[in-house]
Amino acid sequence: MQQDYIIEVEDLCFTRGEKMIFDHLNLKVPRGAISAVMGPSGTGKTTLLRVIGGQLRPDSGKVLLNGKNVCTMGREELFRARRDIGMLFQTSALFTDMNVFENVAFPLRVHTSLPEDTIRDLVLMKLNAVGLRGARDLRPSQLSGGMSRRVALARATALDPDLIMYDEPFTGQDPISMGVILTLIHELNDALGTSTLLVSHDIHETLSIADYLFVIADGKVIGEGTPDQLKANESKRIHQFMHGDPDGPVPFHYPADDLRFDLLSEVE
C-alpha cells in the first residue's frame, strides 16, 4: 500500500555546538506534491535537507523516507536509499574533472548498465530541458553560476528519482532561467510523479510553485499549509516573513549587546 507521505520527520532534535537547530521538529511531506520549506536565514533549512538525506545524524527523533528511518540505516543501506533521491545543492557541486556531459552522465554510468548510446540520448534530453545541450563540452569552470545550477539540476534529475530536494534553486538565476526552472520543477513533478521538497527564500517564486509550505523558525514549524492558507494566516511571525517586514517577532539582528555599549567600549 502506497503511503501518503514520502518524508515524515518526527520529534527531530539537532544541535550544532551549543546551538539548538531543531527542537522537536515535526513535518510530513506529501507524496507527489511540491512542498517547500521557508524560513529566515540560519533557521536550518539546508541542515534539514542534509538530515533527510542522512548526511547529518540528529540527536534524537526519526526521519522516515518511504517509511524507513534514515537515522538508523547502515552505511550501505543509506547509499542504496539515496539512489532514489536527487539533490541540488546551493553551490551546484559539479565535478570539476568532468565536462558538462560527463557530469550529467555520472549517475547513469554509476547506477545503471545502460548502453552508451542510450546514456548519450538521456543526457542530451536532460541538458536540452535546461537549455544547455549546446554546452555539453564545456568544463564547469567555463560556466556562469546560473548555468552551473542548471547543469546540476539536469544531473539531479538524471535517474528520475522518487524525491528531488532543491536547496535554493532560484538563487542567481536570470528571469528567463528562473521561468525555465519553475516550469521544469513543475513538469518533473507532474510527468514523473516525483515528490519535490525545496527550500528557498524567494517567496514569490516559491508561492507560485508549491502545493504545500512549511515555515520554520526557532527550530520548529511555526506554520504550514497551502499558499493561500499561509497568506491568510494571522500569526505575526508568519505575516512578517511572508511580507518581508524588518520589524516583528522574528529578529533581524543576530543576538548582540546594545549598540551604544559596543560603540562606547574600549578596543580590546
Partner 1 sequence: MVSFLRRIGNRVLFRLEGLGRATMMWGLAMATLPRKGDMTLLFRQIYSIGVLSIAIIVLSAFAIGAVISLQFYTQLSRFGAEDAVGAGLALVLLRELGPVVTGLLFAGRAGSAITAEIGLMKTTEQLSIMEMMGVDPLRRIVAPRLWGGIISMPLLTAIFNVVGIYGGVVVGVYWLGADAGGFWSGMQDAVDVREDILKGMLKAAIFAVVVTWIAVFQGYDCEPTAEGMGRATTKTVVTSSVMILALDFFLTLSMYGDF
What is the contact surface with partner 1 in residues (CB under 8 A)?
A: 53, 55, 75, 79-83, 85, 87, 89, 91, 93-96, 106-107, 109-111, 152
**Contact assessment for residue 188 and residue 125, using Cβ atoms and an 8 Å cutoff:** no
User: Exposed e or buried b for every residue in 141-162, given b needs 16+ CB within 10 A?
Assistant: eebeebbbbbbbbbbbbbbebb
Please say which residue, 167 or 205, places its beta carbon nearer to partner 1: 167
Say which DSSP state 109 is in: H
Rounded to the nearest whole angstrom, what is the least distance from the CB of residue 141 to partner 1 in the complex?
11
Cα atoms in the 13 Å half-sphere on the side-chain side of 62: 10
Cα–Cα dist 243/15, whole Å: 29
Please say which residue, 89 or 211, places its beta carbon nearer to partner 1: 89
Cα–Cα dist 76/62, whole Å: 19
Please say which residue, 111 or 236, places its beta carbon nearer to partner 1: 111
Please say which residue, 74 or 246, places its beta carbon nearer to partner 1: 74
Among 55, 48, 51, 8, CA closest to 200? 48
Rounded to the nearest whole angstrom, what is the least distance from the CB of residue 83 to partner 1 in the complex?
4
Please say which residue, 64 or 87, places its beta carbon nearer to partner 1: 87
Rounded to the nearest whole angstrom, what is the least distance from the CB of residue 195 to partner 1 in the complex?
16
> DSSP of 146-194, one letter per residue?
HHHHHHHHHHHTTT--SEEEEESTTTT--HHHHHHHHHHHHHHHHHH--
Rounded to the nearest whole angstrom, what is the least distance from the CB of residue 208 to partner 1 in the complex?
27
Please say which residue, 91 or 229, places its beta carbon nearer to partner 1: 91
Rounded to the nearest whole angstrom, what is the least distance from the CB of residue 88 to partner 1 in the complex?
9
Rounded to the nearest whole angstrom, what is the least distance from the CB of residue 132 to partner 1 in the complex?
18
